[in-house]
Amino acid sequence: MPNYLSDMRPEFDPFELDCGTIKGFQYKSDLKAEIEAKSIEKREAVEILENMLMIRELEEMIVKLRSGAYEPISDFNYRGPTHVSIGQEGTAAGSCTALAMNDKITSTHRGHGDSMAKGTAVIFRMDEEALLERVPGSSGTGEELLEEVLEDHVYHTICELFGKEDGYCKGRGGGMHIADFAVGHLGANAIVGGGVPIATGAAMGLRYQKTGEVVCCFAGDGAYSNGVVLEALNWAGQYQFTNELAKDDKFGLPIIFLIQNNHYGMTGRADNEVNGTSCLARRAAGFSDNNMHAEVVNGMDPLAVREAVLRAAELCRKGEGPVVLEADTYRYFGHSLGDPRNEYRTREEEAAWKEVDPIETLKAQLLSTGVMTEDEITAMERKVVDRNATAAIRAAASADPAPEDTLTYMYTDTVCETVPAEAGEITLVGDLPECKRDKDGLLTYRDAVKEAMIEEMNRDPRVIFYGEDVADYGGAFKATKGLLEAFGRQRVFNAPISEACICGSAVGAAMVGLRPIVELMYMDFALMASDQISNQAAKWHYMSGAQVEVPMVIRAAVGGGKGYGGQHSQTLESMFAHTPGLIVAYPATPYDMKGLLKTAIRDNNPVMFVESQVLYGFKGEVPEDEYLIPFGQADIKREGSDITFVTWGPALHDCLATAEKLAVEGVEAEVIDLRTLVPLDMDTVLRSVEKTGRCIVASQCISIGSFTGEVASQIQEQAFDYLDAPVMRVGAQNGIAPQSHILEAAFMPDQDDLLAAVKAII
């Protein structure tokens, strides 16, 4: 087979690929044999049972609450989701018991069982000091303290399900987004497959930081037909993490893709209906020559799951990840409690699965080995029931979030002012590239991008950069040429053509402590990644109740005006300004480019950073010294008294040119460059409009749905008494950008359109 590591010379010798074998159900041991082999302690087996019982009691409570049958709080009006995982406890508890305390998990909309399992598994291993940190002020010790912490865990879990302030996410996330970052739970995800690229990015971050930690990514069978999940598998299997390109870090991503195959995506069957393979573990063969060590395990046996995850985690810690494990399991209820499930599966099928129930299976082994007696098991079951009831009563009576705090946690107000010592040292592999100014001392918009990134990457080793064609080639527009040679492939590397995974992996990397910058070659491609940008990056600070910050920058180039046609020319900042949780910046000058990009890299919010391709060659004065431009601070580029232009991006330069033409006619226009749409500096705009009495809001967006409408609306609402004429808007025509330069010139707004708008109101 050709070896493409060094070059791409043609080689067409015949060959055959052997895709190897994928084994299933190889675990033939049991509790007795495990104890004799000293591969499990009796205490741990007992803890696995209690963990599973806690999950089931929690979820049976949810089922009963819907009908008022949960007696401890029978009158409580539960309004949350009802995606229970009853039947899957062996997969959750078996996996989390096998993980180290500091390992991470991500989960799904059916994820409160996984969340309960991870927290419980960690709590069982905590020393007394760590337990006291979970319940400050406690006077308990020993078993009493452990019980107090377990009840506290159940309490915070139920509070989150109930939307209470004491929930792990302060009621902002709810059951489908529950997370406890303190125990390594990076969040459940209501978007099917949405957490898989995040888990992959987290593993990439842990690999970079060399923590020795592993990510276990729980996702169901339905997710493994989802595009971004397949992108994530490809991402994790990239040769560049393990071959000669990796140089001293030939280390695969430390991630276990754990497929919870309960055989139903929602109501559709994975088996013999929507899949074309006999097992989902076979997916791995398409993304890695070693099949990602894929195997199928009995998900109804927590000991089988535990053994497989222990082996998988060890492979990951040795640098041989990723690993795919398919846990063959079953959920006893439908997709939600509104799904009666009798339309698509039989009672006989359900009964057969209940015959191998994971809890009953482990109970039997605990009894047969003498590890527990029937009385001890009964006592444990009663303890779990009572603990859940106590926590539920407390949760139902606990405080709801205050209505005035509805938007609290939407954004973080923190920035990276000082790089922490634990971030490590900067290691350069070559000279820093030079950003040359011309004979007049001017720098291009393109090189302002590069200079900002050089300074920030040379300041903070947590800043990494990746995207399509950005390494050796320096990006499609050469804005980052030379960064690879200076910072090396650990910090600057090419990505597959996987915009969703580019952005999603950045979310995960940011969650575990990196500060990624990713490049989307054209902003049009952000639509391929819109879930990871808008549902993931933008929302996790809020949905987690401020447990996590997501410091990442998405550099998206806008191509309007270059004749690239309808799929490479859209100006989409208005769309992302409609996504709470994102900052949206769009510099129009080299000076603003450098200052805003440096600010974006240091900010702890996700930033959609828009760059104009038509401005890459535009020159301006840019200080070589460090400077930052605050977000939400518009700039008056030209002062005037008769009319106000409010604008951003390339339209700024048309507004300035139009203002000069108007000055010849005795009309003095004030030109305001917003620079950031979110946050929006309306104060500067309103002060100007109060002075001039007339306003035109201009951009290169198409007019319908444009952010120009938001600005115009706020002016009308807040400065109506100062207006001498209606606020006018200028933008591209409400259509699709044509390739023809004749048609594109007519499509794009220009100075004539601005002059026409001025004449309409003066």
DSSP string, 635-653: EEEE--SSEEEEE-TTHHH
d(C-alpha 202, C-alpha 253), whole Å: 9
Burial class (CB in 10 A: 0-12, 13-18, 19+), 407: exposed
User: Is it true that domain 421-621 has CATH number 3.40.50.970?
Assistant: yes
d(C-alpha 566, C-alpha 551), whole Å: 31
- For β-strands 676-678 and 607-612, DSSP reports them as unpaired
d(C-alpha 68, C-alpha 79), whole Å: 12
Sign of CA dihedral 691, 696, 700, 703: positive
Strand partners, 671: 638, 645
Q: In what order do the strands lie in the sheet with 492-494?
A: 492-494, 465-467, 517-520, 553-558, 607-612, 583-585, 676-678
Residues in the chain: 762
Helices within 21-108 (DSSP H only): 31-36, 42-67, 89-98
Residue 6's pLDDT is 60
Residue 581's pLDDT is 98
Q: In what order do the strands lie in the sheet with 695-702?
A: 635-638, 669-673, 643-647, 695-702, 728-732
Q: If you count DSSP H runs as helices and E runs as strands, how many of each does the chain have, helices first?
A: 24, 20
d(C-alpha 72, C-alpha 56), whole Å: 16
Helices within 250-335 (DSSP H only): 302-317
Q: Which helix H or strand E contains 621, and what residues bound it?
A: strand 619-621
Vertex 420, ends 540 and 462: CA angle to 5°? 60
Residue 267's pLDDT is 85
Active site residues: 499, 568
Q: Of 617, 684, 688, 696, give the one whose Cα is nearest residue 652.
A: 696
Q: Where in the chain is the domain with CATH 3.40.50.920?
A: 635-761
Could you list the mean pLDDT of each consecutive 10-residue stretch along the chain, which spans 762 residues?
59 90 96 97 98 98 94 93 95 98 97 97 97 94 97 98 97 96 97 96 97 97 95 97 87 97 88 88 95 98 98 98 98 91 92 97 98 98 98 98 96 97 94 96 98 98 97 93 96 96 98 98 93 97 98 93 85 95 98 98 98 96 97 98 98 98 98 98 98 98 96 98 97 92 93 97 92
Q: Which helix H or strand E contains 156, and what residues bound it?
A: helix 142-161
Sign of CA dihedral 594, 598, 603, 609: positive
Task: Write down the CATH superfamily of domain 46-399.
Answer: Thiamin diphosphate (ThDP)-binding fold, Pyr/PP domains (3.40.50.970)
307: Cα separation from own chain's centroid: 30
Compute the CA torsion angle 50, 51, 57, 59 (nearest 10 deg). Answer: -170
Topology at the third CATH level for domain 635-761: Rossmann fold (3.40.50)
- Structure tokens belonging to residue 544: 């987690």
d(C-alpha 587, C-alpha 675), whole Å: 5
Percent helix / strand / coil, the chain, rounded to 5:
45, 10, 45
End-to-end CA distance of the chain: 73
Q: Where in the chain is the domain with CATH 3.40.50.970?
A: 46-399, 421-621
Neighbours of 562 (CB within 10 A): 15
> Does the predicted TM-score (pTM) go above 0.95?
yes
d(C-alpha 651, C-alpha 587), whole Å: 11
Residue 750's pLDDT is 96
Strand partners, 180: 185
